[in-house]
Amino acid sequence: MKNIRILALLGLLFCFNPLFAQKQWQIQTSAVTFKIKNAGLTVDGAFGTVTATILFDKNNVEDTKIEASLETKTIDTGITSRDNHLKKPDYFDVIKYPKISMKSKKITKLADGSYEGIFDLTLKGVTKEIKIPFTFIENPNSATFTGQFTINRRDYGVGGSSWIMSDNATIKIVLTVN
């Protein structure tokens, strides 16, 4: 009888705990790209694969938990010499800071059906709160998160002072999950 009560209690905890109601999504593909102006030209680049834990239910966003990271050494602008320069201490310092990470603090569903997330972004040992508007589109076998935001690279100590390079970089994240 005691075992039945314990099982019933555990069943109630799983049924009514919002964290257990969240779907845990697995990343199928990821794309993290960036754009920044340098010497009047737009430089495009990307980072490699994202690793993440995503607990998200589009109908219960208050309990969403998203933690993601990527390796800084995977930076790719299409020019190897530039990529090697960006890996050095004055830019991403990939030896000392091998990862860029994000952790959700709050997710809100907006009136138009899109979402807005407040995240802690840690880059080069500096953590700042950022706001990321994003969409979530669910298909029969997968779903896609797409978000775009702008950061000031100097807030994170990336690249130092420059009169030819913009302070602002635009980052786009696309995650296909199942």
Which of the four pLDDT bands, split at 50, 70 and 90, describes residue 21? low
Q: Is the pLDDT of residue 5 over 60?
A: no
Tokens of 77: 């602008």
Which of the four pLDDT bands, split at 50, 70 and 90, describes residue 2? low
pLDDT in the model for residue 8: 44
Which of the four pLDDT bands, split at 50, 70 and 90, describes residue 130? very high
Tokens of 143: 């779903």
Q: Contact at 8 Å (CB) between 117 and 66?
A: yes
- The C-alpha atoms of residue 20 and residue 51 are separated, in whole angstroms, by 21
Q: What is the mean pLDDT of residues 10-18?
A: 45
Domains and CATH numbers, the chain: 22-177 (2.40.128.110)
Q: Contact at 8 Å (CB) between 164 and 39?
A: yes
Q: Is the pLDDT of residue 15 over 70?
A: no
pLDDT digits 0-9 by tens, 31-45: 999 999 999 999 999
| Percent of the chain scoring above 70 in pLDDT | 88
Q: Report how far Cα 87 is from the mean position of its chain's Cα atoms.
A: 20
Q: Dihedral, CA atoms, 138, 50, 150, 109, nearest 10 degrees?
A: 30
pTM of the model: 0.87
Which of the four pLDDT bands, split at 50, 70 and 90, describes residue 1? low
pLDDT digits 0-9 by tens, 59-81: 999 999 999 999 999 999 999 99
What's the chain's average pLDDT? 91
Q: Contact at 8 Å (CB) between 148 and 172?
A: yes
Q: Is the pLDDT of residue 96 over 80?
A: yes
